[in-house]
């Protein structure tokens, strides 16, 4: 274990030395100042490819202890493959809030952001609301350009491979749904014909039902729009009922009544 650590530190020393010479020529910084970073134990887990990061960069020093002990997670959302910002943060061993900030700081056009990044909120098991961002493959690639370092490079490759594998699986599913033989094509055509016939039958039944109900609908419409100017006998005629039956129906439901000795019905 100690030998492996010494070998890793030695490799990092030479990589850092080469980088430092280049930076020293361009900025006049000293070799001793750059190598002093190795005295900080928090940096011994990984060295950034870029000693100074821009506002959008997340270097390997941002990574939390441990390794990517999970598989990259890519989900089908609607008709698009997307990654969740929380899954990306967990896989790259970064704080989720830092990943969200990196997405916010991306210098991309509003159109690109709208197409490739979709923010949303969910309630976790504790009832607290957490913010997430789903991203397409293009959005993911744009984001992780700022994740630097050897380990980050390995993680980026694994995530992109997962996107590619999911895309291939979707293509295979689509291909499997197509008929592969002439007999399968005939069966598919027959199934479609049967489905069309069934739908046509439903349309015919609906049209017949509407035609059958049209006179009654028109009668009810005339009565509703009569504004009290239609007598019960005329209403019965429009409803194609005997007047005596309509009078009986209205009396049974107490909509009209007749006083003792009176000859006409009154409405309640």
Report the percent of the chain where pLDDT is more than 90.
Answer: 10
Model confidence pTM above 0.85: no
Can you read off the two tokens belonging to residue 1? 């274990």
Distance, CA of 219 to CA of 236 (rounded, Å):
10
Are the beta carbons of 212 and 202 closer than 8 angstroms? no
Using the predicted structure, report yes or no on whether residue 249 has a pLDDT greater than 90: no
At residue 133 the predicted structure's pLDDT band, cuts being 50, 70 and 90, is very high
In the chain, domain spans:
2-44, 75-174, 180-225, 227-268
Please state, as a whole number, how many other Cβ atoms lie within 10 Å of the Cβ of residue 16: 21
Distance, CA of 53 to CA of 59 (rounded, Å):
7
Q: For position 165, what pLDDT does the model report? A: 85
pLDDT digit string (tens) for 3-45?
444 454 444 444 444 444 444 444 433 333 333 333 343 333 3
Using the predicted structure, report yes or no on whether residue 153 has a pLDDT greater than 70: yes
Are the beta carbons of 160 and 139 closer than 8 angstroms? no
At residue 119 the predicted structure's pLDDT band, cuts being 50, 70 and 90, is very high
User: What average pLDDT does the structure give for the chain?
Assistant: 72
pLDDT: which is higher, 228 or 100 = 100
CA distances, 215 to each of 145, 236, 247 (Å): 70, 13, 21
């Amino acid at each position: 274990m100690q030998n492996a650590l010494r070998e890793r530190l030695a490799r990092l020393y030479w990589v850092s030395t080469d980088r430092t010479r280049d930076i020293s020529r361009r900025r006049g910084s000293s070799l001793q100042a750059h190598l002093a970073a190795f005295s900080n134990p928090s940096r011994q887990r990984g060295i950034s490819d870029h000693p100074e990061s821009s506002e959008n960069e997340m270097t390997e020093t941002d990574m939390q202890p441990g390794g990517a002990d999970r598989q990259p997670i890519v989900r089908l959302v609607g008709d698009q493959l997307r990654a969740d910002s929380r899954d990306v943060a967990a896989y790259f061993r970064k704080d989720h809030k830092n990943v969200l900030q990196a997405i916010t700081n991306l210098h991309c056009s509003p159109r690109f952001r709208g197409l490739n990044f979709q923010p949303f909120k969910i309630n976790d098991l504790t009832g607290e609301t957490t913010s997430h961002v789903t991203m397409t493959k293009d959005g993911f690639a744009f984001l992780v350009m700022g994740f630097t370092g050897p380990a980050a490079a390995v993680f980026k490759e694994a995530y992109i491979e997962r996107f590619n594998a999911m895309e291939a699986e979707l293509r295979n599913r689509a291909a499997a749904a197509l008929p592969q033989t002439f007999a399968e094509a005939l069966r598919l055509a027959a199934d479609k014909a049967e489905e069309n016939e069934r739908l046509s039958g439903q349309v015919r039944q609906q049209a017949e039902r509407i035609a059958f109900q049209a006179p009654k609908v028109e009668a009810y419409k005339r009565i509703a729009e009569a504004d009290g100017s239609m007598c019960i006998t005329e209403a019965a005629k429009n409803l194609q009922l005997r007047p005596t039956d309509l009078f009986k129906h209205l009396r049974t439901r107490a909509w009209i009544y007749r006083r003792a000795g009176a000859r006409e019905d009154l409405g309640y």
